[in-house]
Structure 1
Amino acid sequence: MSDAAVSPVHLGLPDDAEERARAEVYGLLAQLYHAAPTPELYDRLRMAATEAPSAGGFLESSWSALVAAARRVPVGHVADEFVTLFGGVGKPEVALNASWFLAGALNEKPLVALRDDLDALGLERPVAVLETEDHIAALCEVMSYLITGEDVSVSNLATQQRFFNAHLRSWCERLCETIEQQPAADFYRALAGFTRDFMAVEAQAFDLL
């Protein structure tokens, strides 16, 4: 991931630059929800600019809070926080899967529908990946691909809109609220706030298509 991926200063720029910025944000979210950040990624996040191109931009406040949390919370504490919230033995404090929020259990119908859509897009889960395809990190990776992929029959705004509305829009806000309510959340509370705001911007943009 490029250094620009940890800074939303590109958001609001027109044309290809804006699309690259969207893909980079999805890529950053995918990395941070898949595992605790590496020291290299965390250092880049700490050094990221916090100003949006236009003063008072909608994402500026929550992005600034995320960067501030990275500068305040040691990377080792973030790793512990990740395990406390999303890992450990047995049921995690917060499930990061769409099926859990939409059907109340893992591996339910939302996952089946997602797999059908991924198959139609020619995408499948790598063998080495343990998380199911409805994990928030995996869904963000798909969105990044749909923005930057070279096959325009797949990577286009219409496909992005359909995938986002079908597999992210209906549950992501509840996920963010659940994370924010966890007593152990600190860095990830800030990440949840930024995630919610970014997804709201995406939803509004897709509604205007």
Structure 2
Amino acid sequence: MTNTSISTEPFSEEIARAELYGLLARLWFAPPDEALFKQFSVAVTQAPEAGGYLEAPWQALVAGMRETTVESASQEFAALFQSVGKPEVFPYGSYFLAGFMNEKPLAQLRTDLAALGLTRDDAQFETEDHIAYVFEVMRYLIAGDDAGVSNLEQQRRFFRNHVQTWVEQLCDAVDEQPAAQLWRAVAGMTRAFVVVEAQAFDLLEA
């Protein structure tokens, strides 16, 4: 994604949301590397909110990261999302919304991204409806420094149209895979976060 300058304002709840979108995007895009494993081993020991809805899935994700190695994570990622033939799980919106890749939901997403002034990096292999890309857009809409684009209304609209419509189905698909271990925890955290975000936007619209 291009045209994405991120704000460096002091830490806030909004920045925490943006960082969680960014973390989940990273975990859905590729297996974690040694640096990310080290962050989980020393830094992320607390749940986002004690007793909150995200506490249990966050702890499961932390535990999953601490119990996994770079090699085993790479093997699991390949087993789930990469295949010479048909992958076990397609992390693309078009697949869940239309049943096939590169269908109308992707075209609509591209139209909406263009309206936001966002374009796909030509060096990226994945299409814009990959979950990692969609989450990166949400991160930018929260923490970007262009108030005309990065604002609550744009977040709400994009979330309703391009996240809430299919991401929970993706998480369910991962849960159904016997090979899923770490990504079962990633899916659990993702599902819970999407629920929390949906509830927040419900309140905004009430």
Flag whether TM exceeds 0.5 (same fold).
yes
Q: 1:116 aligns with which of 81, 105, 111?
A: 111
Residue aligning to 1:87: 82
Residues in 1 aligned to 2:44 and 2:31: alpha-carbon distance in whole angstroms = 21
Match of 2:165 in 1: 170
Q: 1:76 to 1:148 in 2, by over 3 A?
A: same
> Are residue 104 (structure 1) and residue 104 (structure 2) matched?
no
RMSD: 1.3
- Given the alignment of the two structures, is residue 129 of structure 1 paired with residue 124 of structure 2, yes or no? yes
Q: In structure 1, how many angstroms separate the alpha carbons of the residues matched to 2:19 and 2:146?
A: 18
Q: For the Cα contact (< 8 Å) 2:48–2:54, is it kept in 1?
A: no
Instruction: Give the aligned partner of residue 52 of structure 1.
Output: 47
Task: State the 1:55 CA deviation.
Answer: 3.1
Asked whether 1:37 is paired with 2:42, we answer no
Q: 169-178 vs 49-58, which deviates more? A: 49-58
Is the alpha carbon distance of 1:170 and 1:53 closer, same or farther for their aligned partners in structure 2, counting shifts above 3 Å? closer
Indicate the residue corresponding to 2:200 in structure 1: 205
Classify 1:89/1:53 alpha carbon distance in 2 versus 1 (closer, same or farther; 3 Å). closer
> Which of 169, 174, 186 is residue 191 of structure 1 equivalent to?
186
Amino acid at match of 2:107: V
> Contact 1:46 / 1:68 at 8 angstroms: preserved in 2?
no
Matched positions, count: 195
Partner of 2:152: 157
CA distance in 2, matches of 1:31, 1:90: 24
4+ aligned runs moved over 4 Å, structure 1: none
Separation of aligned partners in 1, 2:20 and 2:33: 17
| Identity among equivalent pairs (%) | 56
Where 1:93 maps in the other structure, the secondary structure is coil
Offset from partner CA, 1:73-100 (integer Å, 9 cap, x none): 2121001100110012122100000000
The aligned residue for residue 177 of structure 2 is: 182
Deviation at 1:200, TM superposition (A): 0.4
User: Cα gap change, 1:181/1:47 in structure 2, threshold over 3 Å: closer, same or farther?
Assistant: farther
SS at the partner of 2:12?
Answer: helix
The amino acid across from 1:82 in the alignment is: F
Answer yes or no: is the 8 Å Cα contact 2:48–2:58 preserved in 1: no
Question: What TM-score, normalized to structure 1?
Answer: 0.90
Change in 2 beyond 3 A, CA 1:53/1:93: closer
Partner residue, 1:3: none
CA distance in 2, matches of 1:92, 1:42: 25
Distance 1:166 1:25 in 2: 20
Is the 8 Å Cα contact of residues 59 and 198 (structure 1) preserved in structure 2?
yes
